[in-house]
A and B are shown apart, each in its own frame.
Chain A
Amino acid sequence: MTSATTAVPAAAATVQTTERTSRLTKGVRLTLFYLLLLIIALVFILPYLMSVFAAFKPLAAILSQSPLRPPAPLTLDNFKTIFTQYDFGRYLANTLLVTVILTAGQVTFSMMGAYAFARMEFPGRDSLFWLYLMTLMVPNIVTLVPLYVMFAHSHLLNTYWAIFLPYVLGVPYSVFLMRQYFMTIPKEVMEAARLDGCSEGRILWRIIVPISRPIIITATLLAFVFGWNNFMWPLIVTNSNSLNVLTVGIANFNSNFSVQWNLILAGALVALIPMVILFAIFQKHIVNSISLTGINR
């Protein structure tokens, strides 16, 4: 009896102290948490911030000032130079043209293939799907040399066609992603539409596309980012300045003008900024999209 009465306040006291220490550690942990978040944010943002600062500074300021200091008299000269004295306008236009064609073709044709695999019956369907799955594993670098030889043989080197052709007819990854998504749409939806006399093209365009927006946006973004950032293939199939895309233009510029940081960084920004804008507009979609591509786990 006595032991019980003495035990109660003792227990209460320990509860109180653990509560106090836990509140204290909670405060410390919360501070630590936000400190970590801040560091992560800085690590990812600083490179952009510094390059933006530098691109608006004259070379002398880049060489003498801290990279973290904002441009005091802001100058547009670097951009003026790369667009007028060098061909960055051309590179930008080339990149845009090639990327838009690549994206439009890849998404449309992959979607059609995905629909055929998901919801149409035809002989050899499963073995053809296996063929797609197997080519999915093939690293790009492995097909580089033979593709180059094929394009050289077809006299397609140094054309716009060469830059987008290998990717414009649809790629297995995109077919696979969309096929998996289309499989989740109930068969009855298409059967009902067929009974109503809908053609397959109409079913795909009017029924499947509207309900599959998330995966189509995903495929579109992936194709666009791939096309925009693609470097090795355009580098080897084009060797005239007028056909250069941004990545090739930046790499050449980098090796020819290695000390002119003002121009090099302004050039890099021409490639980076459109992606940042794309990201700002589609950030939610992009984050959800990438998670969607994990469905093949």
Chain B
Amino acid sequence: MSVAAAATTMVPRQEHVETASKADRHRIRTAFAFLAPSLLGVILFLVIPIIFVIGLSLVQWNMLTPMKWVGLSNYVNIFEFDGFGHSLVVTAYYVILNIPIQTAFALGMAMLLRSKRAGTGVIRIIAVLPFLSTPVAMGVVWNWVFNPSTGLVNQFLAHLGIAGPAWLSNEATAMPVIAFANIWQYAGYNMLFFLAGLAAIPPTVYEAAALDGATKAQQFWRVTMPLLRPTMLFVLVTGVIGSFQVFDTVYVMTAGGPGNATEVASLNIYNTAFAGFRIGEASAMSVVLFLVILAITVVQFRYFNKRMTYEIA
């Protein structure tokens, strides 16, 4: 009886399974059709180049004569002869000039503009505008603003009786000016993340802190900052990854000069590969830069994970 019942139910189920698997196959095909373009893009333009760059870093090649296997010697030569160590130091200097001030400025603006007072909306919008502006075009504008004779900065300083330096051809001031240009460009963009982060902190937390007698400063350091850690991590990680690759503004504003005072890593890679056509050395530099960025990103995640104990949904 039970066997018969099972047998009668078996038949339609099997049919069902068959049609389902046909539908499944169709669905899988459709899914891969949807995925195909972006997957092709990821494999062709990201996965293959990453593997390829490691291979290229082990050869000597000028794109004309045949490649020559040189093992790891490129990794030694870029530090010994191409000044890549100097480039990494210069890049780190740029990041150190750029990121803390940019982040503090973004957070400060967010704290200021989180209030609903009249006028804050307009300023929020104005502060984001630079994010869209073409860095190359802005670099040209900054060249003019910091021009020793015709620029606004030195004209203003002259009014105060100060003779301003030749900002971009002076070793001490060139990099700070480039950092300034990038702070100007991205501070408003980062401010938006802090505004979103601040908006996610419930007011009751502050009320409780105030009831406990916490001053405004204590509220900032003990309540706001810990609760902003996820935002801070996001802003710092994306900011550091971007800053380590700085190129456009440097290319237009100093081209690495004066001397090689602002020859950041990406500019060195560019010059080695596309002016010197030393593909192997440039690839080795790319790999090293990648490892540096990766290491710093991992350190940032570790640091923040250890301290991320608060969760507010």
Contacts and interface: CB of A to CB of B under 8 A. Distances in A.
A136 to B, nearest CB: 9
Given A132-B42, A141-B245, A251-B252, A272 B138 contact: yes
Interface in B208-243: 230-231, 233-234, 241
Contact-residue size bin, chain A (C-beta under 8 Å from the other chain):
35 or more
Interface string A254-268: 110000010011011
Interface stretch (A14-22, A72-80, A112-120): A112-120
Given A44-B184, A116-B31, A122-B27, A247 B289 contact: no
Interface stretch (B75-83, B93-101, B140-148): B140-148
A297 B233 contact: yes
Query: At the interface, is chain B mostly helix, strand, loop or mixed?
Result: helix
A37 B45 contact: no
A146 B283 contact: yes
A77 B243 CA distance: 38
Contacts of A294: 192-193, 196-197, 231, 234
Nearest to B251: A251
Contacts of A296: 234
Interface in B133-171: 133-145, 147, 150-152, 155
B34 A112 contact: yes
B34 A254 contact: no
15 contacts: A47-B141, A131-B42, A140-B245, A142-B50, A152-B63, A167-B41, A169-B45, A229-B248, A246-B137, A250-B134, A251-B251, A251-B252, A286-B132, A287-B192, A290-B128
Interface of B: 27-28, 30-32, 34-35, 37-42, 44-50, 52-53, 56, 63, 109, 112, 115, 117, 119-120, 122-145, 147, 150-152, 155, 184, 188-189, 192-193, 195-197, 230-231, 233-234, 241, 244-245, 247-248, 251-252, 255, 265-266, 269-270, 273-274, 279, 282-283, 286-287, 289-290, 293-294, 297
Given A144-B273, A229-B136, A254-B140, 17 more contacts: A37-B119, A44-B126, A67-B155, A112-B34, A123-B28, A139-B289, A142-B287, A145-B269, A146-B52, A149-B56, A170-B41, A171-B38, A231-B136, A246-B137, A287-B124, A291-B195, A297-B233
